[in-house]
């Protein structure tokens, strides 16, 4: 009898705790749901063809966000041009060349982890001091892309590394046994096999880069531009900075806040779309894997 009561109590404790765990997870889902609900319910009605294809008019109180969409795309592409080659070569060195106990490997890994922890606004300052001032690129697409590219380097290196590690050793051995040298093996065998993984990592970094504001505040973004940038040395508008600007600047919050909702919807949709593409791609790559 005592035994049985005791057991009941023990299971009661379990049920209480597991319910708390359930509730925490539900709370997280509710928070996400309410953020999306509030923004979508007020932002979707702002969005129409004009909103997506026109430039802002009348001191940011009317018109669309086309220059900000284009600006964000430029920054994303620019950052990839910076981070992809650096990331791929770093990852190749880390997985294929360096011996696991080499001190250089440790240094690189520590640097990657430290870099990943550096606050984004600090990258912004770095970009301001180096690219905007010292190199004289000014507040421009180029400065912003370089800054964002460096910032996304840890994510890109890590995901490329994981993709390379997923290629079985036997692939490399088969290629080497056929007389190919190391570089040919990497270039013709390892890289093609890991391409889907590399792309997935790249897509994930796009999602992050598109939403970053602090690194581009002093290096690339302005609240308003006349027309689209004509060269990499021109400043741009960008979606996240546009939202910030609509809330904090200007004199007509009654007209600007709805536009901010619309811009937020576009930015969230962009990020979600990027996520889904990455998830889909990863799944497809896994299914079609030949090993």
Partner 1 sequence: MAFSSVFFLIGIVVVLFGEGWPVFAHVSLSQFLLGRRWYPTSSPPQFGALPLILGSLLVTGGGLLFAVPLGLFAGIFLAEVCPPRGREVLKPIVELLADIPSVIYGFFGVVVIAPLIRNFLSLSTGLTAFTASLILGIMAVPSIVSVIEDAITSIPRSYREASLALGATHWETLHRVVLPAASSGIGAAIILGAGRIIGETMAVLMVAGGAPVIPRSFFQPVRTLTATIAVEMGEASAGSPHYHALFSLAIILFLFTLILNILVENLIPEGRRRVR
Nearer to partner 1 by C-beta: 134 or 169? 134
Nearer to partner 1 by C-beta: 29 or 77? 29
Is there a contact between 267 and 179 (Cβ–Cβ < 8 Å)?
A: no
Nearer to partner 1 by C-beta: 74 or 218? 218
Least distance to partner 1, CB of residue 248, Å: 7
User: Residue 116's CB: how many other CB atoms inside 10 A?
Assistant: 14
Nearer to partner 1 by C-beta: 108 or 176? 108
Nearest of 67, 87, 85 to residue 241 by alpha carbon: 67
Is there a contact between 68 and 238 (Cβ–Cβ < 8 Å)?
A: yes
Nearest of 215, 163, 231 to residue 193 by alpha carbon: 163
Nearer to partner 1 by C-beta: 2 or 290? 2
Least distance to partner 1, CB of residue 130, Å: 6
Write phi, then psi, for 89 (nearest 5 degrees).
Answer: -65, -40
Least distance to partner 1, CB of residue 260, Å: 6
Least distance to partner 1, CB of residue 174, Å: 26
Least distance to partner 1, CB of residue 52, Å: 18
Is there a contact between 256 and 35 (Cβ–Cβ < 8 Å)?
A: no
CA 86 vs. chain centroid, Å, equals: 16
């Amino acid at each position: 009898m005592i035994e049985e009561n005791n057991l009941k109590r023990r299971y009661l404790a379990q049920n209480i705790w597991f319910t708390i765990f359930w509730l925490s997870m539900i709370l997280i889902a509710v928070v996400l749901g309410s953020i999306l609900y509030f923004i979508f319910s007020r932002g979707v009605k702002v969005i129409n063809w004009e909103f997506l294809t026109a430039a802002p008019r009348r001191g940011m109180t009317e018109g669309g966000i086309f220059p900000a969409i284009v600006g964000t795309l430029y920054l994303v592409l620019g950052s990839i041009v910076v981070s992809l080659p650096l990331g791929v070569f770093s990852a190749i060195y880390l997985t294929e060349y360096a011996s696991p106990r080499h001190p250089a490997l440790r240094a690189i890994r520590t640097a990657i982890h430290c870099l990943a922890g550096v606050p984004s606004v600090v990258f912004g300052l770095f970009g301001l001091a180096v690219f905007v001032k010292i190199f004289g690129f000014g507040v421009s697409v180029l400065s912003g892309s370089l800054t964002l590219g460096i910032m996304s380097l840890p994510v890109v290196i890590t995901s490329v590394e994981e993709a390379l590690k997923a290629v079985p050793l036997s692939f490399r051995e088969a290629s080497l046994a056929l007389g190919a040298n190391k570089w040919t093996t990497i270039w013709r065998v390892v890289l093609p096999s890991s391409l889907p993984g590399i792309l997935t990592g790249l897509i994930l970094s796009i999602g992050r880069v598109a939403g970053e504001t602090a690194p581009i505040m002093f290096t690339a973004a302005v609240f308003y531009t006349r027309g689209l940038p004509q060269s990499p040395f021109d400043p741009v508008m960008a979606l996240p900075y546009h939202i910030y600007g609509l809330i904090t600047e200007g004199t007509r919050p009654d007209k600007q806040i709805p536009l901010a909702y619309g811009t937020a919807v576009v930015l969230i949709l962009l990020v979600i779309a990027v996520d889904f593409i990455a998830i889909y791609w990863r799944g497809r790559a896994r299914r079609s894997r030949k090993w």
